[in-house]
Amino acid sequence: MLERTLVDLGLNETEARFYLAALELGAAPIREVATKAGISRTNAYDVLSRLEAQGLVTSEEAGVRNMRVIAASPERLAEVFDSRRRRLESILPDLRSLHVGGTGKPRVRYHEGRAGIQSVLEETLACRSKALLGILSMRDLYEVPGRAWMDELVRRRIAAGVFLRVVRSRSSDIHAHWKDSAEDLRALRFAPEAFETSMTTYIYDDTVALISSRRENFAMTIESAEFAALQRHLFEALWNASTPSNGRAGKRQRTATVSKVG
């Protein structure tokens, strides 16, 4: 059962048997590990080399023409497979774009619950353009998926070099956090007073991500070049109508105000 699970997770059968044998024997000569794994000693050196490259075993000299094998802890095994999962997730947007491009049809994915919302938010970190547009409801994001989780997402976005231009509503904003900051790769504006939403929208590459409030508790992604272009134009219109977070209205707003007074 253990061997089958390791194979399902990405090791081949020989590697799985060798690792399990080394794990059970502790620090043991390679010939003993090979015997317990049911492979030849010659083949064992090749398997050892592959597992060492993955960080799953180490080896050390133990006398003339003798080598001891030490298996990494099961926790290390979990780290290796988790790293593979993260690498796969990082290229998912590229794989999806190939899939969408091949069919010529938009791809719509629906997720429910906190885990689904977190998954959609994490996907924004892999945007190829490194440019993220957002219309956020901070109050609702602080509820689901929660402030601590969102703060960690922000930290990871900054580490990934993804710049965020974001519009938020003053009425649902938490002004002490997520400020306009070059260091945090964030440009912030506040929407006109009449604009308020409990939904959060992110636009990047050819994808639009929608995150609801806790009341409806869902997230959705739409991968479509045309739909993303439309949402990008609508975002720019809202951005131009919004006020920089330093309180100084943009040129278009001042012009509109003067015209209204006149």
CATH number for 62 = 1.10.10.10
Instruction: Give yes or no for residue 248 having a pLDDT over 60.
Output: no
- 3-class DSSP state of 129: coil
Q: How far is CA 240 from CA 169, 192, 256, in A?
A: 14, 10, 12
Residue 106 has a pLDDT of 86
In terms of Cβ atoms closer than 10 Å to its own Cβ (0-12, 13-18, 19+), residue 33 is buried
| Strand blocks (E) in the chain | 28-29, 57-61, 67-71, 107-112, 131-136, 163-168, 186-190, 200-204, 207-211, 218-223, 243-244
Instruction: Take residue 118 and report the two structure tokens written for it.
Output: 């977190």
Q: Phi/psi at 69 (nearest 5 deg)?
A: -115, 135
Please, which pLDDT band fits residue 99 given cuts at 50, 70 and 90? Answer: low
For residue 32, give its domain range.
Answer: 2-73
| CA 2 – CA 21 distance, rounded (Å) | 11
pTM given for the model: 0.58
Which one of 73, 104, 119 terminates a domain? 73
Residues 64 and 178 both lie in one domain: no
207 close to 220: Cβ distance less than 8 angstroms: no
Mean pLDDT of 201-210: 97
Residues 65 and 93 both lie in one domain: no
DSSP character for 181?
A: B
Residues 19 and 145 both lie in one domain: no
Which one of 73, 94, 125 terminates a domain? 73
Instruction: Give yes or no for residue 193 having a pLDDT over 50.
Output: yes
